[in-house]
Chains A and B, each alone.
Chain A
Amino acid sequence: MHVVYPAVVAALLFSIGVYGVLARRNTILVLMSVELMLNAVNLNLVTFDVWLRDQLHGGQVLTLFVIVIAAAEVGIGLAIVLAVFRNRQSIDLDRLRDLFEPPNSSDPDGSQPAATKVTTGVGPE
Chain B
Amino acid sequence: MTPALWPPTAQEIVFLLLSVVAVGSALLVVTTRQLVHAALWLVACFGALAGCYLVLTAEFVAWVQVLIYVGAVVVLMLFGIMLTRAPIGRTADLDSGNRVVAALVALATAAVLVTVVIDGFRSAYTPLDPGTGSAKSLGGSIFRTWVLPFEALSILLLAALIGAIVISRTDIKGRE
Instruction: Report A's interface with B, CB cutoff 8 A.
Output: 1-9, 11-20, 22-26, 28-29, 31-33, 35-36, 39, 42-43, 46-47, 49-51, 53, 56-58, 60-61, 63-65, 67-76, 78-83, 85-86, 91-94, 124
Contact pick for B118, options A4, A15, A43, A68, CB 8 Å:
A4
26 A-B interface contacts by CB (under 8 A): A1-B11, A1-B56, A2-B124, A3-B121, A9-B22, A13-B26, A17-B26, A18-B109, A19-B103, A20-B30, A28-B84, A28-B86, A29-B35, A31-B80, A32-B29, A33-B30, A46-B53, A60-B61, A61-B146, A64-B142, A65-B153, A67-B64, A67-B65, A70-B68, A79-B168, A91-B84
Interface residue count on the B side (C-beta < 8 Å): 94
State in angstroms the CA–CA spacing of A53 and B117 once bound together.
20
Residues of B within 8 A of A83 (CB): 167-168
Determine the main DSSP class of B at the interface with A: helix
A46 touches B61 (CB 8 A): yes
State in angstroms the CA–CA spacing of A61 and B128 once bound together.
18
CB-nearest residue of chain B to A86: B170
State in angstroms the CA–CA spacing of A92 and B19 once bound together.
32
Is B88 at the interface (CB under 8 A from chain A)? Answer: no
B94 touches A26 (CB 8 A): yes
Residues of B within 8 A of A19 (CB): 30, 102-103, 105-106
Determine the main DSSP class of A at the interface with B: helix
State in angstroms the CA–CA spacing of A46 and B121 once bound together.
15
B27 touches A16 (CB 8 A): yes
- How many residue-residue contacts, CB under 8 A, span A and B? 254
Residues of B within 8 A of A5 (CB): 8, 12, 15-16, 19
**What's the nearest-Cβ distance from chain A to residue B46, in Å?**
7
CB-nearest residue of chain A to B160: A72
State in angstroms the CA–CA spacing of A12 and B125 once bound together.
20
State in angstroms the CA–CA spacing of A6 and B107 once bound together.
19
**What's the nearest-Cβ distance from chain B to residue A69, in Å?**
7
**What's the nearest-Cβ distance from chain A to residue B124, in Å?**
4
**What's the nearest-Cβ distance from chain B to residue A18, in Å?**
5
**What's the nearest-Cβ distance from chain B to residue A5, in Å?**
6
**Interface 0/1 of B60-84, CB less than 8 Å to A:** 1100110011001100110111011
**Interface 0/1 of B157-176, CB less than 8 Å to A:** 10011011101101001001
